């Protein structure tokens, strides 16, 4: 695809080029850049100190360390996020179920949102949709069972999981996945405003039904 065609389609040329510039932690100029620097410094600075930058000639060969270290840092930040959200919810008298289905769900999906928008603007719509589905599959098949496995090996006892309407929640997840696929097909596999409103509606329905199962407003037939 030529650059003239890319510009005609409204896709910035800069979005099609990979950023190979190493991370610069020097003090920027300008009020807005300095404010952003201070806000992201608590997260970026530890990563800059502990993870090799793979965009540098030296860091290209150290990508396995960066990959594994990124997972460790994600686990650490996730622990802090859940802890702080639990404390904030207890202070504001918000149940943990509501915090998990709303605030934490939105917070953990922001990175997926950013990456999906970036790849969608590059023209890889299938990658953007696959990222949203694949991240949830990774959470269910790796993110949950791996800590449970380590807990069982260390303590010699299984992890007790108590949740009302667990079976119905799993069935609801599969149903929502089917509704998402059908919605995309109905809009002829194009991400437009109508599909966006449909996704918002499906999310609100999912949250309402999940909270209804959790608080007993809806009865799960399997229980």
Domain count, the chain: 3
Residue 3 lies in a domain: no
pLDDT at 13: 42
85 and 104 in a single domain? The answer is no
pLDDT at 164: 61
Q: Tell me, what DSSP letter sits at residue 22?
A: P
- The residue behind tokens 């802090």 is 80
Residue 10 lies in a domain: no
100 and 151 in a single domain? The answer is yes
Residues 6 or more apart whose CB falls under 8 angstroms from that of 3 comprise 13
89 and 109 in a single domain? The answer is no
pLDDT at 10: 41
Residue that terminates a domain, selected from 161, 192, 210? 161
Q: Tell me, what DSSP letter sits at residue 57?
A: T
Residue 75 lies in a domain: yes
134 and 177 in a single domain? The answer is no
Write out the residue range of the structural domain in which residue 55 sits.
Answer: 24-94
Residue 18 lies in a domain: no
Report the C-alpha gap between 100 and 74 in whole angstroms.
Answer: 17
148 and 169 in a single domain? The answer is no
pLDDT at 153: 92
136 and 176 in a single domain? The answer is no
193 and 223 in a single domain? The answer is yes
Residue 2 lies in a domain: no
Residue 6 lies in a domain: no
Residue that terminates a domain, selected from 94, 117, 138? 94
168 and 154 in a single domain? The answer is no
Residue that terminates a domain, selected from 54, 74, 94? 94
169 and 198 in a single domain? The answer is yes
Question: What is the Cα 126 distance to its own chain's centre?
Answer: 17
Count of other CB atoms within 10 angstroms of residue 128 = 20
82 and 29 in a single domain? The answer is yes
Number of helices followed by number of strands (H, E) in the chain: 9, 0
32 and 49 in a single domain? The answer is yes
pLDDT at 223: 61
pLDDT (tens, 9 = 90+) of the chain, 223 residues, equals 333 333 333 444 444 445 567 777 888 888 898 998 898 888 899 999 999 988 888 888 888 999 999 889 988 988 888 898 889 888 988 888 788 878 888 777 777 788 888 888 888 878 887 877 777 788 788 888 888 898 899 998 888 876 666 777 788 888 888 888 898 889 888 878 888 899 889 888 888 888 887 777 777 776 6
189 and 213 in a single domain? The answer is yes
Statement: the pTM of the whole predicted model exceeds 0.85: no
Helices 63-91 and 105-121 pack at an angle, to 10 degrees, of 140
Task: Specify whether the backbone of 188 is left (phi greater than 0), alpha (psi in -120 to 50) or beta.
Answer: left
């Amino acid at each position: 695809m030529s650059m003239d065609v890319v510009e005609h389609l409204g896709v910035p040329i800069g979005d099609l080029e990979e950023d190979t510039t190493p991370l610069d932690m020097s003090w920027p100029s300008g009020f807005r850049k300095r404010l952003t620097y201070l806000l992201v410094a608590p997260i970026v600075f530890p990563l800059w100190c502990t993870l090799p930058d793979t965009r540098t000639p030296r860091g290209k060969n150290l990508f396995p360390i960066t990959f594994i270290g990124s997972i460790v840092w994600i686990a650490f930040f996730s622990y802090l996020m859940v802890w702080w959200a639990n404390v904030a919810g207890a202070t504001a008298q918000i149940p943990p179920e509501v915090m998990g289905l709303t605030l934490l769900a939105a917070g953990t999906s922001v990175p997926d949102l950013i990456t999906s928008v970036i790849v969608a603007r590059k023209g890889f719509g299938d990658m953007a949709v696959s990222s949203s589905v694949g991240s949830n599959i990774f959470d269910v098949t790796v993110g949950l069972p791996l800590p449970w496995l380590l807990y069982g090996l260390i303590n010699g006892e299984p992890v007790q999981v108590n949740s009302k309407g667990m079976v119905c929640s799993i069935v609801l997840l599969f149903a929502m996945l089917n509704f998402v696929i059908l919605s995309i097909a109905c809009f002829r596999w194009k991400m437009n405003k109508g599909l966006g409103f449909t996704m918002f509606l499906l999310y609100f329905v999912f949250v309402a039904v999940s909270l209804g199962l959790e608080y007993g407003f809806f009865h799960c037939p399997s229980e």
